[in-house]
Amino acid sequence: MKLSIFKWMFLFLFLTGTLQAQEEIEDDVRYKKRVKKYISRWEKLIPRYTKLQFAGSMGMLSLGTGWNYYRNHWETDVYLGIVPRNSDRHAMATLTLKQNYYPWNIRIADKLSFEPLACGVYINTLLDRDFWGKQPDKYPQGYYWFSTRIRTHVFIGERFTLKLDTKKSWHKSISFFYELSTCDLYLINKIGNSYLKPKDYLSLSFGLKLQIL
């Protein structure tokens, strides 16, 4: 009788220990999944590339970084640019947020591809106190109906991409692009002044993109 009781007690303790161990394993698995998901979300914030752009009404030279997603059809860039000093004004910095869309990618050769259309919009602001986003009180109401600090631009262009050997380079690919752009103020001036030529309201820019991830 006593032996039978000990057997049942041993079996109970064994099953209890087994269930506790199983629960601990499941808890550990769930924890690791949560950590993996948490890390994955933060990894998405790591910039995928760097860009260097010349002109484009965002500074003479702008350095940026960004993210590509949705099968590389979309790119979001953040640029910091510089407007050099001249005889009339001191040097100024610019900040630009840019959204790009590339609907097609055509392979020309084994490592060379061509995107026949790049288009998008970007918002640029001058980081300078001499310019303002809202009309100062010293001017009559409605005297300046536009901001002198912030401009909204639209653009179209094209891009060529060359894949690199990752064993010899830190980058996956290098791209060359050019763009034609204009801003909201230029478009309004064009509508009201038909004599303006494309060179008066269009800006040509060139750039390089170095894909990291």
Residue 3 is part of which domain span? 1-45
pTM assigned to the model: 0.80
Give the whole-angstrom CA distance, residue 95 versus residue 57: 11
- Count of domains forming the chain: 2
In terms of domains, do 96 and 195 share one? yes
For the stretch 46-86, pLDDT in tens is 999 999 999 999 999 999 999 999 999 999 999 999 999 87
Handedness of CA 196, 197, 198, 199 (dihedral sign): negative
- pLDDT of 63 reads 97
Please report which confidence band the pLDDT of residue 189 belongs to, taking 50, 70 and 90 as the band edges. Answer: confident
Supply the CATH number for residue 181's domain: 2.40.160
CA 98 vs CA 46, 104, 109, 151, 185: distances in Å: 17, 19, 29, 12, 18
For the stretch 106-158, pLDDT in tens is 999 999 999 999 999 999 999 877 765 665 566 556 556 567 788 999 999 99
In terms of domains, do 91 and 187 share one? yes
In terms of domains, do 38 and 97 share one? no
